[in-house]
Amino acid sequence: MILARPTLNTTKTFCSNWWQNTFLKDTQNFNKTCVFKNCINPTDINDLRIEVSNTINTICELKTEEYGFRVWLDGEQTSLEKNQYVFESQIKNNESIEDWSNRVFKNKKFGIILNAAEVLNPKLAQKIASFMIPLFKTNGTPLRGYNITLFIGNYGFTPLGIHKDPPGESVIHFHLGPSKKTIYQWDNDKLDQEISEKNLSLKENVKELLPSAIPYTFNEGDLYFMPSKNYHIGETDELSIGIALWSNKNFKEELSKELLQCIQEKYISDSKNNSLNKFNTLESVSDMSLLFDLPENQDKLTFKDLCQESYKNYRYSLMSNCSFLKTPLLRGRKKTSFNENDYFINETPFKIEFYSSGLNKEKLIVFIRGHKIVLKNNTQFIQILDYINMRETIKVQTILNFINSEVTKEQIMSLLSTLEYYYGIKKNNPLCCLNEK
């Protein structure tokens, strides 16, 4: 694996003032295509390239197409079987993506698209989140969150052809170079009319359609924004690397279905032994208890209450993950033990989110990078979580000072281990821990 790891946001561009007074103004509040020049400094470009390399290596270890991993060679998409040679060719330590691609693909034109990079690489998500958090704090986030797609290659025109992305999806593209990329964008109605009148194909007749497009060219260190619903195609004749942050706008029907699915998975029994034979007379229509697996303290909740709880959990989960819709991969991860002399850091800009729940507020529902755990609700756990959220570097002994009759040392150590397992904190001994607050 590539050993180096990134610092957080060192690019001064991505501050609240820039997002508000430059980005939102120029894009007309996410409604107009724009290119922003020289937004990403060389240090951040290098950090992001390292994490792109680490992401590629992770998918090579998994040997799967599950996360939308697709490869094109000379314009043709390859099969999973043919991708084995890619999986067996991980990027070496200190090997650039340029050198790796030359070694693996030789002189061929190639393209790689990888969805859900935030799942495969929590550090990449952390780096991008550090850029975005000033915008989130002032402007909020879409209810369906964000996801990250990687585009790598020298493939010429995007193999997908001229296309529109799914409804509601807009994109912020962080361009890492080394070569430029151009996105051609069309007026939808005019393009529909042109392909109808000339009997042209969006995939086979790209060059014939280019004169009616508006080109947007961006280089290493630039940021490109494109709103949803636009016909477009990318072109990069030399190797370029892009990180695309997709924003999923709010669609009531889709979100409602997801929440109902959450209720079904949580409360409706899937046991094959649950016979419904007794529901065969009108006398039994008021007894639905066997259809649901409601906890004892929730069997009096209304349907609205259940929906409200599911929606609340969804929102807290999303916010704990800096609005990334999917949680980090836990494959092969083991819990870390702590002792009182250890130090740890919180994984900023991610925050541990929590709230009290239950008829008597007896539970503390906690979310770490989108993952949910349940604790006994007491003031000590709340104070510990608040303390961790407010400080960057902490000694375990400081947390142990919260021990009282409500919380034991074993419970605190178990909590720290769980927080680390879900990427909420990270053990960080010893020299980097001198700045404890």
- In this model, does residue 84 exceed pLDDT 50? yes
Q: Considering only CA atoms, which of 212, 217, 208 is closest in space to residue 235?
A: 217
Q: Structure tokens of 372?
A: 């949910």
Cα(7)–Cα(225) distance, integer angstroms: 24
Cα(328)–Cα(423) distance, integer angstroms: 8
Return the bridge partners of 393, or none: 345
Average of per-residue pLDDT across 181-209: 91
Q: What is the pLDDT of residue 437?
A: 43
- In this model, does residue 285 exceed pLDDT 70? no
Q: What is the pLDDT of residue 51?
A: 96
In this predicted model, what pLDDT tens digit does every residue of 237-264 receive, in sequence order? Answer: 999 999 999 987 656 777 788 778 777 7
Q: Structure tokens of 318?
A: 């999303």
Q: What is the pLDDT of residue 11?
A: 58
Return the bridge partners of 373, or none: 366
User: CB-based contacts of 118: which residues, under 8 Å, 6+ apart?
Assistant: 124, 125, 128, 146, 147, 148, 324, 326, 328
* Range ranked top by mean pLDDT from 67-71, 79-83, 147-151: 147-151
Name the residue ranges covered by the structural domains of the chain: 16-248, 258-268+289-433
- In this model, does residue 132 exceed pLDDT 90? yes
Q: What is the pLDDT of residue 273?
A: 54
In this predicted model, what pLDDT tens digit does every residue of 389-405 receive, in sequence order? Answer: 998 889 999 999 888 87
Could you name the CATH architecture of 16-248?
Answer: Sandwich (2.60)
Label residue 135 by pLDDT band (50, 70, 90). Answer: very high
- In this model, does residue 283 exceed pLDDT 70? no
- In this model, does residue 433 exceed pLDDT 50? no
Percent of the chain residues topping a pLDDT of 90: 59
In this predicted model, what pLDDT tens digit does every residue of 306-349 receive, in sequence order? Answer: 788 888 888 999 999 999 999 999 988 899 999 999 999 999 99
Average of per-residue pLDDT across 296-314: 77
In this predicted model, what pLDDT tens digit does every residue of 50-77 receive, in sequence order? Answer: 999 999 999 999 998 888 899 999 888 8
Q: What is the pLDDT of residue 165?
A: 83
Domain 258-268+289-433 in CATH 3.40.630? The answer is no
Cα dihedral 329/262/318/66 (nearest 10): 30
Provide the residue type at 331 as one letter: R
3-state secondary structure the chain: CCCCCCCCCCCCCCCHHHHHHHHHHHCCCCCCCEEECCCCCHHHHHHHHHHHHHHHHHHHHHCCCCCCCEEEECCEECCCCCCHHHHCCCCCCCCCHHHHHHHHHCCCCEEEEECCHHHHCHHHHHHHHHHHHHHHHHHCCCCCCEEEEEEEECCEECCCCCECCCCCEEEEEEEEEECCEEEEEECHHHHHHHHHHHCCCCCCCHHHHHHHCEEEEECCCCEEEECCCCEEEEEECCCEEEEEEEEECCCHHHHHHHHHHHHHHHHECCCCCCCCCCCCCHHHCCCCHHHECCCHHHCCCCHHHHHHHHHHHHHHHHHHCCCECCCCCCCCCCCCCCCCCCEEEECCCCCCEEEEECCCCCEEEEEECCEEEEEECCHHHHHHHHHHHHCCEEEHHHHHCCCCCCCCHHHHHHHHHHHHHCCCEEECCCHHHCCCC
Q: What is the pLDDT of residue 291?
A: 62
- In this model, does residue 386 exceed pLDDT 70? yes
Higher pLDDT, 3 or 424: 424
